[in-house]
Amino acid sequence: MPQRPPKACNHPGCPNYCEPYSDYCKVHQRPKGRGKSTAPYTSKSRFRKFRAWYIRQHPVCERCNREAATVLHHKTEVDKGGAIYDEDNAMAVCWDCHEIIHGRKKNGHNT
């Protein structure tokens, strides 16, 4: 069976050719497995369903117990080995608490 003719890499400006049945040369191919840090979230519909389900189960912020939960926070970041769909690694929090957890906000809720 004859091989396909060489094809140019799809990466902009790359002069290299691809392996058969590939869109990118060896330099620009994504590594197999996790790839970029957003790789676990590539199944957006599955993650959205899990997030919606979890927040329905925990409608009040699990940190402050005052506000409605709107964000699914992973206790152990997915990039650092935390399981994306594990209830034990999930926490339903309000936006303010999520910002505080990540150090983007210093003050808590007004009392």
pLDDT tens per residue, range 48-63? 889 999 999 999 999 9
Per-residue pLDDT, 65: 95
Query: With contact defined as beta carbons under 8 Å apart, do 74 and 82 qualify?
Result: yes
Q: What is the pLDDT of residue 43?
A: 60
Which amino acid does the sequence have at 50?
F
pLDDT band at 17 (very low <50, low <70, confident <90, very high): confident
* pTM of the full structure: 0.58
- Which has the higher per-residue pLDDT, 106 or 10? 10
| Nearest Cα to Cα of residue 64 among 40, 29, 99 | 99
Confidence of residue 9 (pLDDT cuts 50, 70, 90): confident
- Report how far residue 97's alpha carbon sits from residue 103's, in angstroms, rounded to the nearest whole number: 10
